[in-house]
Amino acid sequence: MIGPDTKAWTTGTLGELLPIKYGKSLPEKMRDASGTIPVFGSSGRVGVHAQPLTKGPALIVGRKGTVGAVYFSAEPCWPIDTVYFAEADQGQNLRYFKYLLDSLNLVRLDRSTAVPGLSRDDYNALNVKIAPAEEQYRIVAEIDKQFSRLDEAVANLKRAKVSISRYRTSVLADAAGSNEDSWPTCTIGSLLCEPIVNGLSIKESQTPTAVRALRLSAMSDAGLDYADYRFLPLQPTAVEDIVVREGEFFVSRGNGSLALVGRGSTAQTPPGPVIFPDTMMRLRFADASVRRWVAMLWPSRLVRSQIEHRVKTTAGIYKIAQPQVASISVPLPPATERDRILAEVDRRLSIVHEVETEVDSNLRAAKSLRQAVLRRAFSDGVEG
């Protein structure tokens, strides 16, 4: 049983029971990389240094960036200026306080409108109840046990996702190479019914009556996210030629990640008029069956290797241009064979999708269960 008997618990504010201090700036160029002292930022451990800022173990709380994230260092460390930190006082169990702070969901205290931030005043004013010392150790031990089981389950689920991804890759590879030697090879450009077209991008508008334009992040293997858009100050009649239509195929022109440049997405039916940005290019195929075939092959190693061979890098951004996309080669089986393969791939990937959806659902459930364990452990531990 994790549930606590709260009758003997101490009531107070976090500022009284676990006061926090500001971390101290330590730019990467000033750190001693030969040291062994962990350096913590709001995203966790970010490096090492030769000297600690804390005298002993410490809790680190994200102040800027990853607001409210809580980390425990079992050894002296250096918290930088994007975090707060707390050290043990009078035999305090810092691991107990780590779990308590996790249960409080401190990110809810973020009131900033631009850069996320956690106010120390808001932290200090939060009322909590603290278990007696012996009870703290019992609660920590029980949470550790429950989280150990959850961690094992999550690790198994993540291994399952890797296996699913490998199977999807093998399905696409099999489809691309089942009779590749006997199939003619065609360039993407030769399969299009019109030239490739780039989208448009100008300064964003705050007027909700302006034209909706997708962001590059709207692209995914499953299609386009039509809720991921911004407004551009344009007249709809001026951009009719780049309005997204069902069945069109889009390719990412540039990205900071090599794995995402050249990514392809097929448009579903848009819920309303929306254009595509200049970070995407549109491909219209002469035949719907050919478009489905190319879309199926696009994430395969056969196509990805050609994309990655053609990309250019500018200021850390990977880019691919229209001529390079048009020159990509794909095998093209006869229509009857193509339709048979597409049907079989759809059947297999449908099963993969169902399994992947179930795994993702279980991963979300594990995350919720972790919070439920904390709520149960610290029930009645927060007053307001």
Domain ranges of the chain: 8-130, 138-162+333-378, 184-332
Instruction: Name 130's Cβ contacts closer than 8 Å, sequence gap at least 6.
Output: 9, 10, 11, 12, 17, 100, 136, 381
Helix 94-104 / helix 133-177 crossing angle, nearest 10 deg: 60
The predicted-structure confidence for 159-212, as pLDDT tens digits, reads as follows 998 898 888 878 877 776 665 567 899 999 999 999 999 998 777 655 556 789
Q: What is the domain class of 184-332 according to CATH?
A: alpha beta
Could you check whether 8-130 and 184-332 share the same CATH topology?
yes
The rounded percent of the chain whose pLDDT value lies above 90 is 67
Contact in structure between 276 and 242 (CB atoms under 8 Å)? yes
Map residue 123 onto helix, strand or coil: helix
Residue 383 is predicted with a pLDDT of: 43
Distance of CA 259 to the CA centre of its chain: 14
The predicted-structure confidence for 113-167, as pLDDT tens digits, reads as follows 667 789 999 999 999 999 998 899 999 999 999 999 999 999 999 999 889 888 8
In this structure, which topology does domain 8-130 adopt according to CATH? Adenine-n6-DNA-methyltransferase TaqI; Chain A, domain 2 (3.90.220)
What the block records as the tokens of 330 is 């794909």
Instruction: Name 46's Cβ contacts closer than 8 Å, sequence gap at least 6.
Output: 39, 40, 80
6 has a pLDDT exceeding 80: no
**Global pTM value:** 0.64
What the block records as the tokens of 296 is 């199926």
Burial 170-193 (b: 16+ CB within 10 A, else e): ebbeebbeeeeeebeeeebeebbe
Burial of residue 78 (CB within 10 Å: 0-12, 13-18, 19+) is: buried
